[in-house]
Chain A
């Protein structure tokens, strides 16, 4: 029998090459796409580039890591200098655009960050070279697959979508070469974030993702897009400023060897808690937690593939990744609970806001923020079970959300609206896409589908967390989860509410769009059925490596029941449809005055079309009011966090 660790050692060279390949390779299509004008060639480059990224990430997941975290030092001495130069160049660019647009607050934050990271580099010149630059374990491999596979699928989808986008928006300049180049740059930076062990490296890639999101949100180049792009930039810079402070803190406390994530976490809360909390603040800004959330909602002005990318496989996932990475540090800490409460409040408030929205993309945006909130809550609690739930939430959210965004984008181009009310009866006019949407929505909130298992695990985890915070989180979760049922179910209802049978309009959907929607639907289903292997082979080894031996996370009997329920939903309708099908179809009942289906006769003989609309409860769940109070509460919580950090005598 061969020791698993031995195998790992045999693969070490392959690993370091693969990690570097994943970070560096997307830059090649990015460079080619910048200069490529031909649409067909672009299609080939994007498809090939996305395919290679996806395959690379899958290969990484397939390689045996066992219960190890592997660290690598990149044998290139000048690389720190190159990064510093690039950071200065990015900062210079941001200063230029922000001064030009008179956004001096942004200029200030760019300069502040440059100052801080410059100081850190100067302090750490001799120190940080000792820290391994890269790491990989099951968690970063999972993240890599989310980035590579889902990100790649979105890039391919964008080919078809962006062609139509420019047919619909003839007034916009066609900047697609730049657009696709940034997409690949984004993927590269994301791989960098999840593979970095050296915090200075991570910070560099972190800032590149901020830059990419700014450029992508700005894409339509109208007033609203530019304003929202600057807001996204500002919020992420505010949060991002905490990152170099964390690095400085580590260096000033003399522990330059703790500049590596692995050794920092291993050092325990006494050393790691302050930097972990600071990075968590940066993570909260990046994953759009209250009060930072408005940047992600504003980002909706960008074309749909950008939203899908930001929401499912990049940007916001970098934020929760960073927080979840430090989850073991937060375990049992009051400050961890404060972070968890920030996530919990965000979850509850944004779920409530989602009820009052009829714009499909806004519903998706708010539910993303809500889900990220739940992930932050789990990561802040920091117990093995909570981290298990957090990682599952990340996986299911990435898959279901990208599927939903892309199907909404597809529908939007056919129906000409992104309003849920205009999706009435989509089951008739676009049966395949609406089935995919239903699967995506089910994955987001219904038992026994993906997300619900994470909620189940969250409740289990919170019930064992530090009292009374655990119970407060459960109350938040109980109400928030009820609210999510409301807005998802009424959306599903709209799709099924077939008024009259119409011609299918699905034949106009491009190949690129199908090529994205079908695999994502398949992934959603596979992930739902694959909970057990995902847990056993990927997440549990990571948890054992992080926490040592852990108790059983999800009893096999419960898993069996969930799988049986899943099978019932798939099998029962197929078995029963023949028996249940009505023998005679009738018109619906309208109180006796129906003229024909869908037309009603009024009191003075006027014929009226029936129109039905869902409840949006704007009075009960007003967007402005809820955001205001939610922001207020979270600002107080952030203050508590900061006071806690400072009064610990450490900052």
Chain B
């Protein structure tokens, strides 16, 4: 019963937490750049504004696909926070991502097309680590069920240091931070306009933003799992990891997709793959 409550809490609270996280992110980012920055609730105001805009588009398909993107991001979170099978949650996350990519393709915009290709590159750069993470948790706790992992009393990070570093690395991709914001950029008028999102506007873009809020919470939940035995340490880890991501975002410029993919794969293969293989031999 407890897990169902967590799932409902996720459904309602995740956008709130997501807005707060991105709001604080924007203020700190601004401070790092010597600006004052917007109010904390600015991300919420931005999204609310999007839903008041006129509904325009190139044709019907993108909006429907984006809706599926959002729906499956929520499903991912419900499985994850509802204590379901971690692998199942991962596959739902992939499905959600694929809908975003398909939506970008279906807008028939050249910018979105290039963005979609890069989004897929990012997807294959991070996908292996996420699967390895689930398997790592299985090795430590003996179960793929998120509920069993959440009830684990130790600190999985002690046995999974390689996996943890890999996850921190790929979070930069997933949070769409530079140097790995290949398919969408925080800053408009760059080479790709806004990559996959070029042709989304109004409520469609709003749904993309909401999906991203859910995604942030899911990813931070994943970071928390590494410290599950000690909640204080877990929250602290989330704050530190997120701060590191912001730091990276503001001190690096975007890399090309090839080194990004190569780098992600090599690091995660050695650290992540090495970690679970070594652990299985222990």
Contacts and interface: CB of A to CB of B under 8 A. Distances in A.
Given A475-B277, A493-B105, A463 B56 contact: no
B192 to A, nearest CB: 11
A485 interface: yes
A74 interface: no
Interface in B103-120: 104-111, 113, 116-117, 120
A447 B91 contact: yes
A489 B279 CA distance: 33
A139 B94 CA distance: 32
A499 interface: yes
A497 interface: yes
Interface stretch (A176-184, A299-307, A369-377, A584-592): A584-592
B121 A615 contact: yes
A478 B63 contact: no
A565 B261 contact: no
Interface residues of B, number: 68
B128 interface: yes
Contacts of B95: 446-448, 565
Most chain A beta-carbon contacts within 10 A, residue among B64, B124, B277 = B124
Given A490-B117, A493-B116, A589-B109, A485 B127 contact: yes
Given A472-B277, A565-B72, A620-B258, A489 B84 contact: no
Given A456-B87, A584-B56, A589-B193, A474 B98 contact: no
B144 interface: yes
A463 B84 contact: no
A580 interface: yes
A585 B57 contact: yes
A474 B136 CA distance: 11
Contacts of B92: 447-448, 565
Chain B interface main SS type? helix
B64 A456 contact: no
A334 interface: no
A558 to B, nearest CB: 5
B277 A580 contact: no
Given A478-B131, A479-B269, A589-B199, A572 B67 contact: yes
B72 A459 contact: no
B45 interface: no
A533 interface: no
Interface string A456-476: 100110010001101110110
Contact of A585 (B59, B98, B104): B59
A100 to B, nearest CB: 48
B3 to A, nearest CB: 11
Contact of B58 (A555, A583, A585): A585
Contacts of B273: 475, 478
Most chain B beta-carbon contacts within 10 A, residue among A448, A477, A612 = A612
Contacts of B56: 582-586
A39 B39 CA distance: 77
16 contacts: A447-B91, A456-B87, A456-B91, A460-B144, A489-B120, A490-B120, A493-B104, A496-B106, A497-B113, A561-B88, A565-B95, A573-B67, A582-B63, A583-B56, A588-B58, A614-B117
Interface of A: 425, 427, 446-448, 452, 455-456, 459-460, 463, 467-468, 470-472, 474-475, 477-479, 481-483, 485-486, 489-490, 492-494, 496-499, 555, 557-558, 561-562, 565, 568-569, 572-573, 576-577, 580-591, 610, 612, 614-615, 620
Given A467-B280, A475-B269, A591-B193, 4 more contacts: A447-B88, A471-B135, A493-B116, A583-B55
